[in-house]
Amino acid sequence: MHRILERQIKKLFGENATFPLKWKAFITLVNDTYLRCDKKIKLLNESLYLSSKKSLEGSREFQEIKKEIEKSEGEKIESFEKYQTLINNLSIGVYRNTPGPQGHFLEANPAIISLFEADSKEEFLKHNVSDLYQYPEKRALFAKKLLKQGLVKDEELELITLKGKKITGSITAVMKKDKEGNIYFDGTIEDITERKRMEEALKNANEKLEIRVKKRTKDLDKRILELEEVRKAMTNLLEDFEKKQNELIESEKREENAVKDLEKFKLAVDNASDHIVITDSEGVVIYGNKAVEKITGYKPEEAIGKKSGVLWKSPMPLEYYQNFWNVIKIQKKTFTGEIQNKRKNGTIYTAIISVSPVLDKNGEIIYFVGTERDITAEKEIESVRKGFLSLASHQLRTPLSGTKWLIETMQRGVIGELNTKQKEYINKLYQINERMIRLVSDMLDVLLLEGGVTIFEKQKISVSKLFEELLSTMDPVSKNKSVILQNNFKNKKTLFITSNSQSLRNILECFVSNAINYSKVGDEIVLDAKEKPGAVVFSVKDNGIGIPKDEQKRMFERFYRASNAKEYKPDGTGLGLYTAFLLAQKVNGKITFESEENKGATFYLQVPKEVGSSGKFNNN
């Protein structure tokens, strides 16, 4: 097929357009005409060329040529008419117009006239080309492009009909030049408004679909992630489960052991010789061991559910109970003390009790655990022993005091003057008697301390006050010996300890008294106290005769006296430090010393700042 025709048909009807038989014959005809024309034009051109070369004289030949030309012109006209018919019947718009920013139509087929809603061809041709552009300035651009390229294919333009309907047209145009050199544009226009709309709709639909797909993909990704999380969680759960299972097995084993331990423990508690009671926070008994019955006469099952205080309470001073409850319920500490309780049969017994609160993790009391040791028998023995000691000391002191006062009466000259020798003897007798008195007194103290179950009361003690009291007692003694007592604790910050003040005083008196006894005239004795974590250390330092190294470890033995001390002061009892040692034990204190012979000694007493939380020391 002739290439121009082919192109035109393709352009007009699409690549694979099919035509009815009648149309096909017509197209073939047109094609043949095209081909023939081409051939003839070629031949004509050749012959024109030849003839121009040979000159145009031969008229016959010229006439023939003329005839030929006329014939071919006729054929051309015929073919043009056919072509015109074809164009007029095409549904696609075909036009010719002039270039320029406005442009005007030279030719238009019915399809384009109807496309732009013109009433007639005449009306249509009156309009500028740019009038049909939605944006008329675009016409200039299009014209420029066509002029430049010579051909514009399938250009989509936003156009407007004469009645104002917006349409989209697909334009294919070629630039042509006529014999005179005038330029014009031949083109076809196809209304693709609907297609565009469809395409747009499709595009929108696609976009929407894409968005939906994207969203869905995103959802799916999210879901996948979620599933992955779930999988991980499940894995962890499974691992945990396994771990828990192992732990459970372990804990079951432990529990089994604990139960065994607990059974042992319960057996031990059940059969302990001390009475053990567990109460709730209100003091109602929830457990009692066998010793409860032994001591109080109440069977554990009789006691359970009742208030322990009511069951075996025997009236004690009100302050005792106030202190007791204050310690265990408010301070939430252990109370230890001596108490008198009543057995089921009404008899009174003495016990050392220790009651501790059991706290939950929030510090709230859940139980009280109380132990009671019946010390009635010990107390009775103690009482008998004390009575005996008291009487014995009285009996020993009486003759000694008689001797003392009789000698003093003689010394005072009440019964007449003594001569020098008699005075000397009487003085010696007096010293021996005084030593005897001290010995009896010290021994009595030791015997009371050694055997006693006595519980020492505690007081809040100011260290500076303790020193003041100590100095007021010891100052006359030191002045007598002409030694100086130096209180280095003076002006130091306030320091308090909770302990038994009498015991502390007795111990410190022993230190100071020893220091005075073994110092030389004019020596200085230094008293001090220092704070240590949780404790206070008292010290008494002298520059006296000191203690020989090899005898130092025996200093706390009963009646032991260092060899140089015996020489220096023959009338000591050897019980002072031993008594101090016993007293220190009673107040949970510790005595130590440093000494060098002939250089002096420093004795230390270390006592806890606070012992337990009860009002008394537990000295079992």
Partner 1 sequence: MNRVLITEDEEFLVRALKDNLESEGCVIDVALNGEEAIEQIRKQRPNLILLDLLMPKRDGFYVLGEVRKNPEWKLIPIIVLSNLGGDAEIKKALDMGADDYFVKSQHPIEEVIEKVKDYLEGGSKAVKSNS
Minimum distance of partner 1 from residue 448's CB (angstroms): 9
Alpha carbon distance 272, 256 (integer Å)? 24
Which DSSP symbol is given to 164? S
Minimum distance of partner 1 from residue 414's CB (angstroms): 5
* H/E element, 167: strand 166-177
Helix and strand totals (H; E) in the chain: 17, 17
If the CB atoms of residues 433 and 464 are measured against partner 1, the closer one turns out to be 433
Which DSSP symbol is given to 92? S
If the CB atoms of residues 52 and 480 are measured against partner 1, the closer one turns out to be 480
Cβ–Cβ under 8 Å, residues 554 and 568: no
Residues in contact with partner 1 by the rule CB under 8 A: 390, 393-394, 397-398, 400-406, 408-409, 412, 414-415, 437, 440-441, 444
Phi, psi of 181 (to 5 degrees): 90, 10
Residues 6+ apart with CB under 8 A from 306: 284, 285
Which DSSP symbol is given to 551? G
If the CB atoms of residues 149 and 395 are measured against partner 1, the closer one turns out to be 395
Minimum distance of partner 1 from residue 369's CB (angstroms): 34
Residues 6+ apart with CB under 8 A from 246: none
C-alpha angle with apex 319: 317 to 320, nearest 5 degrees? Answer: 70
If the CB atoms of residues 401 and 620 are measured against partner 1, the closer one turns out to be 401
Alpha carbon distance 441, 344 (integer Å)? 42
Q: How far is CA 618 from CA 231, 352, 382, 499, 610, in A?
A: 64, 8, 16, 12, 13
If the CB atoms of residues 290 and 423 are measured against partner 1, the closer one turns out to be 423
If the CB atoms of residues 40 and 386 are measured against partner 1, the closer one turns out to be 386
Q: Which residue from 381, 426, 378, 436 is spatially nearest to 406, judged by alpha carbons? A: 426
Q: How far is CA 533 from CA 329, 493, 608, in A?
A: 27, 16, 9
Minimum distance of partner 1 from residue 309's CB (angstroms): 29
Minimum distance of partner 1 from residue 486's CB (angstroms): 28
Minimum distance of partner 1 from residue 440's CB (angstroms): 7
Minimum distance of partner 1 from residue 446's CB (angstroms): 14
* H/E element, 316: none
Minimum distance of partner 1 from residue 510's CB (angstroms): 16
Minimum distance of partner 1 from residue 500's CB (angstroms): 13
If the CB atoms of residues 237 and 391 are measured against partner 1, the closer one turns out to be 391
Joined tokens for residue 482: 């002409």
Cβ–Cβ under 8 Å, residues 342 and 313: yes
If the CB atoms of residues 14 and 317 are measured against partner 1, the closer one turns out to be 317
Residues 6+ apart with CB under 8 A from 167: 115, 159, 160, 161, 191, 193
Alpha carbon distance 98, 601 (integer Å)? 137
Minimum distance of partner 1 from residue 407's CB (angstroms): 9
β-strand pairing of 275-280 with 183-191: unpaired
If the CB atoms of residues 182 and 390 are measured against partner 1, the closer one turns out to be 390
Q: Which residue from 376, 373, 383, 352 is spatially nearest to 451, judged by alpha carbons? A: 383
If the CB atoms of residues 254 and 428 are measured against partner 1, the closer one turns out to be 428
If the CB atoms of residues 150 and 413 are measured against partner 1, the closer one turns out to be 413
Minimum distance of partner 1 from residue 381's CB (angstroms): 17
**Residues facing residue 285 across a β-bridge:** 279
Instruction: Determine the distance from the C-alpha atom of residue 299 to the mean position of all C-alpha atoms in its chain, rounded to a whole number.
Output: 51
